[in-house]
Structure 1
């Protein structure tokens, strides 16, 4: 029977409809609790739930602040929209966060922010950003992953002449703390996105859908890996799960099903407002019982 890696649990605090100090409180608490190993933000420029005119923080700026206020947690953005920032700029931003954190960045990236969601789609017009079709978005993502990795690892300037991105004299200095580079988490569920994950991901995160759909997408990722000669087991399987404060048993059942399906990287989405001592509650009510099953 193959060895199943120990599940690794994290939290996600969507930086929208909340106050900065509330997010900071939760992350500082989580940083003291060994059962919680990673923490995440999301990447939306405007709210996608609740008051459409409510507050939303820019994810990478906030992540850098939280990195400076924590010491142990691995941290990242679930997932960065490749549509928002040119890849060379994103590589520089991510390098900065890896350095600020002392080498704790998990680099999450995806094709873009839920284009079918009307509250996500409005972000582009509101910020003067172009919105391209899905084929363009996934093709751009594949090139971005290549560019970012090269900027993190290559010791000489290079040119890149792609279909979606063109760089002249590209060079990254300083380099990230983590070598050869921070782990790359690719989020996506479409067939095209899974091909990008097969080529570039250290971790794959499946957004949306039930556990049955996640299992099917994971099997498709396996097939894509086989086609390019990559060991599917080299890609950690990650899944976000919503937390219910009122019915923790429901969340525990979802965690058990995810782990049983091979998803060992569990991201527990915390709804706001955050109760007092919520990170310790997660450890006691969700992680401890789930990890000991």
Structure 2
């Protein structure tokens, strides 16, 4: 059965507007999950406009909702040391009462200048994409161990090094919150096969998305993992003016085997937008 959610990119919008949409969605059964993104500066619209830090905002929204599963689509592994990220995510899982879906990715490519500038502006290192994918694999290993290990441990990888690492408290969800890895590159899909419970990909060219999914199947088979154990998730942009186009995209995604659908709501958000999405998009596309 398909599971639908919404995404409110926390840029070019105020906190009260995002809060309103999430609290409305929390009362609508057709909407099962809600997401923010993880950028420190706008990647669209006014480059000098507002952008909120994702995990801080997510924790606030977790405390003000009761039912929605929630997460970041997806956390940039470039922004925070993995052990610190594990602690942040654990805190959000506890605040939410065990509703966190832990989204993570390698971080933006060097070819995306609107995203690239946020690293330089915040004094963050920016390495090539191959290195960032390798670092993501090590980060997933360390984060999972911090969530599950009963004692302290050392990890001395090529990109991640911790000594005497120990996570306390543990997340509410056992053995750990679901790991959602986002991206589409071949190298990243190998990390998905090893570590993810859910794979998310931006929509658009459905033929390309299907081919990426088939490649993930192959990588899973190579390591002896059942491909069906990884939920296929897709992010689809919403058009308020052309809801029929959005419904067509939803149906194509469902037909392609993507049973976890994230609907990207553009700001500004019309009054009652969550109810509109449930009525005009989810109910009609899924029927």
TM class by shorter chain equals over 0.9
Tell me, which stretches of 5 or more residues in structure 2 are unaligned?
none
How far did 1:17 drift?
0.3
8 Å CA contact 2:179–2:195 kept in 1: the answer is yes
8 Å CA contact 1:43–1:78 kept in 2: the answer is yes
**Alpha-carbon separation, structure 2, partners of 1:104 and 1:197:** 21
How far did 1:291 drift?
1.7
Tell me the TM-score normalised to structure 1 length. Answer: 0.97
**Alpha-carbon separation, structure 1, partners of 2:162 and 2:70:** 29
Q: Match of 2:186?
A: 191
The 5-angstrom pairing of residues 88-127 of structure 1 reads: 88-127=83-122
Tell me the TM-score normalised to structure 2 length. Answer: 0.99
8 Å CA contact 2:7–2:36 kept in 1: the answer is yes
Cα distance, 1:135–1:230 mapped onto 2, change above 3 Å: same
Matched, 1:60 2:50: no
**Alpha-carbon separation, structure 1, partners of 2:7 and 2:48:** 22
**Alpha-carbon separation, structure 2, partners of 1:57 and 1:114:** 21
**Alpha-carbon separation, structure 1, partners of 2:108 and 2:171:** 26
**Alpha-carbon separation, structure 2, partners of 1:217 and 1:261:** 11
Deviation sequence 1:216-246 (CA, Å, 0-9, x none): 0000000000000000000000000000111
- Cα RMSD (Å): 0.7
How far did 1:210 drift?
1.1
Q: Match of 1:149?
A: 144
How far did 1:290 drift?
1.5
**Alpha-carbon separation, structure 2, partners of 1:85 and 1:113:** 14
Q: Match of 1:50?
A: 45
8 Å CA contact 1:31–1:70 kept in 2: the answer is yes
How far did 1:168 drift?
0.4
Count how many residue pairs are aligned between Structure 1 and Structure 2.
287
Matched, 1:289 2:256: no
Q: Secondary structure at the match of 1:256?
A: helix
**Alpha-carbon separation, structure 1, partners of 2:86 and 2:222:** 28
Q: Match of 2:75?
A: 80
The 5-angstrom pairing of residues 1-293 of structure 1 reads: 6-207=1-202, 209-292=204-287
Tell me, which stretches of 5 or more residues in structure 1 are unaligned?
1-5
8 Å CA contact 2:100–2:178 kept in 1: the answer is yes
8 Å CA contact 1:252–1:290 kept in 2: the answer is yes
